[in-house]
Homo-oligomer: A and B are copies of this chain.
Amino acid sequence: MPAPELRRAHGPAPVPPRRPRPTIDDVARLAGVSRGTVSRALNGGRNVRPAVLASVNDAIAALDYTVNQAARNLARGRTGSVAFVISERQEHLFEDPNWGVFVKTFSRELRPLGRHLLVTTAQDTSEEQLLGDYLTAGHVDGVLLALPYDDEPLLSRLVASRLPTVVLGRPLGWEAAFSWVMIDEEQSAFDIVTHLLGTGRTRIATVTGPLHTSSGKGRLDGYARALGPSFDPVLVAHGDWSMHSGRLGTEQILERGVEFDALFVGSDHMAIGAMQALREAGRSVPADVAVAGFDDSVAALMADPPLTTVHNPFEETAVEAVRILDELMAGRQASPLHVVLSTELVVRSSA
């Protein structure tokens, strides 16, 4: 390979002058119409004669024209982007592979809407403050909010700013103020615990998610309903969605010295930790203890044995969220919209 100096001898690299992008005026000129007509053709083609529309499209193709989003956004008075907000306390989300499904799906669904996905995170309270400033400063047209806690100060700021927002999961205490998409946590948990019961298990313990989240609370409620009068607090421990907390919760129950032959864990991720604790305690799964998770994440297949779980329709959730957000941003919908999706029991060998 020649030394850089040798190359330099040839003078500056032959940079083909990056031809400026064609503008709407170039298209108009080529099509022999006015700029306004091209604009109309670009935006639905209403009030444009078919023949004219065709020639405009030909010109667009010939010039390889694409609209300049910045100019369009400026003219339309919008930003063209949507924020996917993940607040600090949901950081564990990044641990969960399913999380990528949201990003991927949002990105895909937003593109045809001419909007970009802007991923934002807040690591601590001060960053959350900044994030709130950023969002309410008009840098985005809408917000997709992941699984918030009820005490989220961000929620009140979002409400006050009247920024179109869709929450993934139900914002406890703010149900009426926001649009949201969720699954029927309670019923799903009821179903899987009922499945456990159906396989002959009688003493079913649980490690829940955080009870100040709709998922944590809903899943515990469903568990309780399925057990009915035989619900026993001594078989209940709490976690924070992390794998480690699943292990700790299970250890707590084991230490109480109560017998149990099944364990319903609030998430697959926590279930991995739970199974580690069970294994260390010498209990085999599912022989001694049947284990059920929730979410049907990749973790469910990493478990040994593979987890019986509830399929959480993340992709569908994301699609619905974008659909609703679009309605909100377009102003076609003023009041909050609520969607509840159904889940499916996935039986594998852990229970």
Contacts of A119 in B (CB 8 A): 103-104, 106-107, 117, 119
Mask: chain A, 121-144; 1 = CB below 8 Å from B; 0 = not: 100000000000010011100000
Chain B min CB distance to A315 (Å): 11
Chain B min CB distance to A5 (Å): 12
Is A304 in contact with B304, judged by CB distance below 8 angstroms?
Answer: yes
- Name A137's closest neighbour in chain B (CB-CB): B66
Q: Taking A18-B162, A103-B119, A107-B119 as contacts, is the C-beta distance between A302 and B299 under 8 angstroms?
A: yes
Chain B min CB distance to A337 (Å): 12
Say which residue of B70, B94, B117 sits within 8 Å of A80 (CB atoms): B70
Residue A272 at the B interface, CB < 8 A? yes
Residue A61 at the B interface, CB < 8 A? no
Q: How large is the interface on A (under 10, 10 to 19, 20 to 34, 35 or more residues)?
A: 35 or more
Mask: chain A, 76-110; 1 = CB below 8 Å from B; 0 = not: 00111100000000000111110111011011100
Residue A116 at the B interface, CB < 8 A? yes
Residue A156 at the B interface, CB < 8 A? no
Is A138 in contact with B81, judged by CB distance below 8 angstroms?
Answer: no
Interface residues of A in 139-182 (CB under 8 A from B): 139, 162, 176
Residue A73 at the B interface, CB < 8 A? yes
- Name A118's closest neighbour in chain B (CB-CB): B116
Give complex CA distance A322, B131 in Å. Answer: 20
Residue A3 at the B interface, CB < 8 A? no
Give complex CA distance A137, B114 in Å. Answer: 14
Is B96 in contact with A121, judged by CB distance below 8 angstroms?
Answer: no
Say which residue of B71, B108, B116, B334 sits within 8 Å of A121 (CB atoms): B108
Additional 9 contacts, C-beta under 8 A, given A71-B74, A81-B116, A107-B121? A1-B176, A4-B335, A68-B138, A69-B79, A70-B79, A94-B97, A94-B101, A111-B134, A117-B118
